[in-house]
Structure formats: C-alpha cells, structure tokens
Structure 1
Amino acid sequence: MFDLDEDTGASIEIKLYKNVENVKLIRQRLIKGDLNCCIVKPSLIVDPFQIVVAANKAFTSEKRTTKTVFTEILFNLSISKNITNSLKTFGIDDSDNNIIVVLVNERGKDNKHVCSDIQGEELELVLLKNFSDVNAIRKVYKIEDKEFFNVPLLDSVVSRIAVKDFL
C-alpha cells in the first residue's frame, strides 16, 4: 500500500501478475468501465515509485486531462501529451500476459473484488525489476546514453513525469 498526498486521503495498491490467461476479457471490462482500476504494462515500469508519482499527480491535479483517475494515471506515466498514445503505450493489449494492477483506495470505497477475476499468478512486487525492459523504457522516455550511464533510470523517468505539464 502506498499513501498519496495526505490532502487526497487516497492510497494505491500495486499488484503484479504473470501468465494472465484472460487479459482480453479484463481489457474489455476495463474499457467498458466495469473494473475500477488501472492496468499497466510492467515492461515500462522501472519501480513502483514511478506509478506512485503518476497516481499522486492524478489526484493532486486541479483538472483532469482524461475522464477517470485510472486513465489519468496511465496518461501521467507517459511523457506524451497525446491521450490516445499514452493509453496505448502504457495500457495493456490483448497479447500481454504480464500485468500490473493499480487499485485506488479512497475513503468509503471498496475495490477488493477487482483482482478476483484475474486468472494469473500474483507475484511479490519486488520481482517487478524482472519484467522491466530497460531498452523499451529508454525509448519511451527518450533517455540517451549519456544520461543513462550517469543518472539512475528511475530518477530520469520520474523527472520526466513530474515536468511533463511544464514542457
């Protein structure tokens, strides 16, 4: 469980799954709005903190760019200001079988049922690094060699997420 800015009263849970057999169904339910969560490709995530920063930004922003807090988290993970590209890049597609589920815990709302339909193996979040694709992350976040070899990857990624609105 990761607490967000205390003024929001919200926290998030991040769950990692591998070998998910029903991604297509989950994606369809997500698009229809039947699942109150955000589902992310683990290959583009360096560390859970990356998701925490995007979620915190979604909750503390005065105005949302997207329709829901869940799509806002995906949008905030991206450096692109194009909503469709952001959702396609960080959201899951039918061919994915490894996923990250981000559950938002707000006062008075229960979302424990969301993960009950996932037909896959839940893993400890510390194993996330085994699913990260450094080359894909570098490409998506436009991290060149000089920066990559001199700055921790997480710092580079989080910096880009934080300053996206100012560029």
Structure 2
Amino acid sequence: MHLTHKLELFPDQRVTQMLFKEVKNAAELRQSAMAGKIQGALINPTMLVNSFQVLVAANKAVNLQKIGKMKTRSLYSEIIFNLSPTNNISEAFKRFGISDGDDSVMVVLVHNEDESELLSDITARVNGRQVPVDDVSSLSDQAQIRKLYKVTPQEEKCGSLLDAVVCRMATKDVM
C-alpha cells in the first residue's frame, strides 16, 4: 500500500509515500500538520502526475536541508514547495497542500531505517481508506497540471507530462 525509496545520495534516508482516499478529517490533519504534530508532508494528490514527482521533490528537500539552503521552515514544507514550478511559497501551499474540504491526501515521510511506528501513527490519524500509491495518477487533474506547469501540446509529443513537470520542478531555481 505504501511506497518506500532509499535516497541514493543519502543512503541513511528513506522517503515513504502513503495515499488515502475518502478522507473525512482533512481539516483536522491540516491543523495538526501546521502545529507540527504530524511529521510528514500532506499533499493534494490531484496536482500529482506520478509518485516519482514526489520523490524528486523530497530528494531535493533533503539535499537542501543537508546543505542549509532551505527556503521554508521545515523539511516537509520544503517538499511541498519543491513540487511547485514557481518560487512563491504561499502559492505552493495553496496548490499542493491539502485544503479543509479535500477527500484524498498523499502523506510523505522522510525517515531512517525503521518506519513501522511512523506509518501506524499516520494510518491511525487519517480517517480514510488507504490505497496503493500507484493509484495517484487516477486522482490527477491533468488539465489543471498542464495549466499550472504551462505544458504545451507540442512538448507532450516528444515527452510525457511527467517529464515536463519534473523538468519544471528541477529548473525553477535557475530560471
């Protein structure tokens, strides 16, 4: 149900993604995250093409944390910020963070070896049904994603929507 990756550049760090549908307590989760009671990023899955997009954002956030160059206050807010094609932090939270009325949520955790306690804590907090992370593409609003990332039909002829999105995420700091 969840998906865990070991980061190549930081072998002591793991990124775990969990996807929930039919969430009834999004407002409560958002408040807990803002208060620092949830050690994870709560992401709106409608703005995600694929779980790889989240892995790229998390990898970049861990790297920026290690070198002391984060633009936000926490690792988890940095993950949400890194999903955005722009450098506007509040816009990133509006687009990629969860809202009080959302009925689905992607939870992203960064941790060391043992994650079982973290996973059970998150699962207990979310009042919803956990589904496989690969189902995230079925929740995507691709029209909204194309508009936000300014992906042209021509661009999709030579690559995928995921390619275009990841390219925008990776180059936003230098553009």
Q: TM-score range by the shorter chain?
A: over 0.9
Equivalence for 1:47:
50
Alpha-carbon distance between aligned partners in 1 of 2:113 and 2:135, rounded to the nearest angstrom: 29
CA RMSD of aligned residues (A): 1.5
TM-score between both structures, scaled by the size of structure 1? 0.94
Q: Give the equivalent residue in structure 1 for 2:174.
A: 166
Q: How does 1:78-157 map to 2 (within 5 A)?
A: 78-106=84-112, 111-112=118-119, 113-157=121-165
SS at match of 2:173: helix
Which structure 1 residue ranges, 5 or more long, are not aligned?
Answer: none
Cα distance in 2 for partners of 1:16, 1:33 equals 20
Paired residue for 2:15, among 9, 12, 18? 12
For structure 1, which segment, 104-113 or 54-63, has the greater mean C-alpha deviation from structure 2 after superposition? Answer: 104-113
Q: What is the CA-CA distance between 1:148 and the residue it aligns to?
A: 2.5
Return the letter of the residue paired with 2:128.
G
Q: SS of 2:172's equivalent? A: helix
Deviations 1:13-48 (CA, angstroms, capped at 9, x unpaired): 111110001111111101111100001111111111
Amino acid at match of 1:126: D
- Post-superposition Cα deviations, 1:102-132, rounded to whole Å, max 9, x if no partner, equal 1111368852312311010000112111101
1:63-74 paired onto structure 2 within 5 Å = 63-74=69-80
Deviations, residues 38-82 of structure 1 (Å, cap 9, x unaligned): 011111111111000000000112210000000000000001101
Q: Quote the Cα distance in structure 2 between the aligned partners of 1:119 and 1:161.
A: 31
Q: Amino acid of the residue matched to residue 100 of structure 1?
A: M
Contact 2:14–2:113 (CA under 8 A) maintained in structure 1? no
Distance in 1 between residues matched to 2:158 and 2:113, nearest whole Å: 41
Gap regions ≥5 residues in structure 2: none
**How much does 1:134 deviate?**
0.7
How many pairs were matched up?
A: 167
